[in-house]
Structure 1
Amino acid sequence: MPTMQGETIMLAMKKFANKTLTLTSLGLLFLSHTATAELQNIEAKSMPTQSQTIATNNITVRKVQFLSQGTKVVGNLYLPANIKAPQSAVVVVGPQSSVKEQVSTVYATQLANQGFVALTFDHRTFGESGGVPRQLENPEMKVEDIHSAVTFLQALPQVKQNAVALLGVCSGGGYSARAAATDSSINALVTVAGFYHDPQVMRQWLGDNYQARLEMGKAALIKYENTGKVDYMTNVDPKNTKVAMPGQEAYDYYGTSRGVRPGWVNRSAVMFFEPFLQFNAIDSGHEIKAPTLVIHSDTALVPDGARRFFKSINSNQKNLHWMNTSNHIAFYDQPEVVESAASKAATWLKQTLNKSSD
């Protein structure tokens, strides 16, 4: 999308100046482990940056910024209590359309309580991050953002460079799988209720709507490239089937106080259908070498896709953990489900990341 890339770069070039603690990382004036006192009062144009925002429940949360393909990405860095030496770290990647204050923060908090450094962030075009058109669910863009997040974490003095993992929830699981397949510096992968789809799965799921939505996405992209105008579609609406995320279950989270958060917008750019419907998360398993834990249930999305994905994983270290849940979004915010999944993930990551950092 040449016009999109040009506009996002232009947006990133706008002045964004803050006097914060600044850390420069690989590819961005690499200055790993430089004393923080030497980095005061440097403008955010040097990216990335971090500044303390909250210290609560024995976790320090810092607002952070880094660049992905030249565009500002904003995240939250969760640091465990009394951190005195570099720790294992996890990039937490949320579901379709989500922002960092939703599902991602739930798992990041759990992981930080287990001693991990955890990073949540808004993908480009979402939340506080830059990028246009807004609310564009483009899988390949999101995979690029994950790579940038990993690079950012590896440059932090609080992080063991060879002990960085991904934890992806729902669509974030599929995106994390692709990232792990294409980045050997990712040392472990956990997917939670991952949405593992390929064109075959989407055709079966959507039926006649598959081709119609694919054509709708193509037409919206052509319109955007020719006119700069963006067609949008509502994400969730229980009374409307012509939405980006149909069904009562999606509405029960995103349309209610369970999931509504500042920064989340109930719409998607229609042009997302073309890249999203043709994205293949399942085949990513063939290229994954990192230790991988797949957490799923019979009531989560596409359980057969989860089994196919797990079977395809090429790692010698892999584990499938099957849970009992009432539905898919129980993995988003139901305490007993989240705590069980996060505990299993933390145990797996401690075992595998400790080996990778030896």
Structure 2
Amino acid sequence: MLSTQLNFMSQGILCTGTLLLPEHVKQAPVIIMAHGFGLIKDVGLPEFAKRFVKAGYAVFSFDYRCFGESEGQPRHWVSPKRHLEDWKAALAFVRTLASVDTQRIVLWGYSFSGGHAIQTAAQDADVSAVILQAPHVSGISSLKGVPFTTLAKLSASGMMDLLGGFVNKPVYRPIFGRVNDVAALATAEAWDGYLSLAPALENWQNKTRARIFLELPLYNPIRYAHKLRMPTLVISGKNDSIIPESAIRGAAQKMPNAQYFMLESNHFELCIGSIFEKNIALQLHFLEQIFSLNKMNKAVA
């Protein structure tokens, strides 16, 4: 596996990505990956990327502006609008690479970035395929389980952040917490789940700009689901308390060319252990169906 750090520009700000290439496949199809709510490319994603590369695919993962190795201030700024701009910039950048097959591009999204992948693909018919893992599809459905008092406190924090932005004093709230904490994600699985993906990291903190809590109810990628005419794989967790399985299934039913699978998993178990193995097997089988990579590998050898 060949690994190279590459930079691209998004809205005038430098973003950093990692390009992984299989050693024995020339001009491989390329999978573009970015993380979900507030996380960075170095946690969780590498396990998926390694399996894709081993199977003969190239992978380009990147950090959003204000996260990880990418530049941008203030840090830890979760924003659908900004993330979608970064996805569009990353896609345009990958299409300039001579080392991959730019006619065979797959968008891969997990959780919040699943929503970004839906909207990005809906606006770009040249994307070959999409893989969605427990994707965010509806702001309202994702907020149904949040107590009203918590929503009120988060919304108030969002207003404070909007005001603080005028004097360069952003207001932050935790991304994840325990049940009843005032945090973006405070379900029973959120605390252990995030810690399983994001252990102590020097360039990551458990916080987000609070203005996201004003944007989140309005972010509904399900509105674009009917435009995904390329092959699409949608995987959900039956016991997901972050994004309801029913909402994901409803979005998949609107996609003209989608395969849908529900695993006995919560939101985070899709990334670990035996459920990860079932999950990645579904994804690799889907890609093989699309690209017939076994035949391609034999031809190269």
Counterpart residue number, 1:270: 210
Aligned partners of 2:118 and 2:224 also within 8 Å:
yes
Q: Distance in 2 between matches of 1:174 and 1:214?
A: 22
Shift of 1:240: 6.0
Q: Distance in 1 between matches of 2:199 and 2:276?
A: 15
TM-score w.r.t. the length of structure 2 is 0.89
Alignment deviations for residues 49-95 of structure 1 (CA, whole Å, 9 cap, x no partner): xxxxxxxxxx2221111111111111111111234x21101011222
Aligned mate of 2:268, from 307, 329, 340: 329
Aligned mate of 1:193, from 90, 114, 134: 134
**Aligned length in residues:** 291
SS at match of 1:255: helix
Counterpart residue number, 1:120: 61
Aligned partners of 2:40 and 2:67 also within 8 Å:
yes
Shift of 1:343: 2.1
Aligned partners of 1:150 and 1:186 also within 8 Å:
no
Counterpart residue number, 1:348: 286
Q: Distance in 2 between matches of 1:354 and 1:163?
A: 12
Aligned partners of 1:198 and 1:282 also within 8 Å:
no
Counterpart residue number, 1:231: 171
Matches within 5 A, 1:118-267: 118-199=59-140, 201-208=141-148, 209-210=150-151, 212-224=153-165, 226-238=166-178, 241-255=181-195, 259-267=199-207
Q: Does 1 or 2 have the higher relative contact order (CA < 8 Å, sep 6+)?
A: 2
Counterpart residue number, 2:37: 96
**In the alignment, structure 1 residue 78 sits paired with structure 2 residue 20:** yes
SS at match of 2:30: strand
Provide closer, same or farther for how the CA distance between residues 275 and 110 of structure 1 changes in structure 2, counting only shifts above 3 A.
same
Shift of 1:203: 4.7
Stretches of structure 1 lacking an aligned partner (at least 5 in a row): 1-58
Counterpart residue number, 2:299: none
Shift of 1:207: 4.5
Q: Distance in 2 between matches of 1:260 and 1:328?
A: 20
SS at match of 1:290: coil
Counterpart residue number, 2:7: 65
Aligned partners of 1:123 and 1:145 also within 8 Å:
yes
**In the alignment, structure 1 residue 339 sits paired with structure 2 residue 277:** yes
Q: Which amino acid aligns with 2:161?
A: A
Q: Distance in 1 between matches of 2:273 and 2:173?
A: 31
Aligned partners of 2:83 and 2:116 also within 8 Å:
yes
SS at match of 2:138: coil
Provide closer, same or farther for how the CA distance between residues 322 and 175 of structure 1 changes in structure 2, counting only shifts above 3 A.
same
SS at match of 1:168: strand
Provide closer, same or farther for how the CA distance between residues 259 and 173 of structure 1 changes in structure 2, counting only shifts above 3 A.
farther
**Identical amino acids, percent of aligned pairs:** 22
Shift of 1:270: 0.9
Alignment deviations for residues 316-345 of structure 1 (CA, whole Å, 9 cap, x no partner): x221112222x221112x132222212211
SS at match of 2:280: helix
**In the alignment, structure 1 residue 303 sits paired with structure 2 residue 241:** no
Alignment deviations for residues 70-124 of structure 1 (CA, whole Å, 9 cap, x no partner): 11111111111234x2110101122211101112212111111111100111111
Shift of 1:158: 1.8
Q: Distance in 2 between matches of 1:336 and 1:171?
A: 23
Q: Distance in 2 between matches of 1:188 and 1:256?
A: 29
Shift of 1:220: 1.4
Q: Distance in 1 between matches of 2:227 and 2:24?
A: 37
SS at match of 2:189: helix
Aligned partners of 1:137 and 1:276 also within 8 Å:
no
Shift of 1:248: 4.2
Aligned mate of 1:108, from 49, 69, 72: 49
Counterpart residue number, 1:37: none
Greater C-alpha radius of gyration: 1
Stretches of structure 2 lacking an aligned partner (at least 5 in a row): 294-301
Q: Distance in 2 between matches of 1:309 and 1:158?
A: 34
Q: Distance in 1 between matches of 2:124 and 2:71?
A: 24
Aligned partners of 1:90 and 1:167 also within 8 Å:
yes
Aligned partners of 2:142 and 2:244 also within 8 Å:
no
Q: Which amino acid aligns with 1:329?
A: F
TM-score w.r.t. the length of structure 1 is 0.75
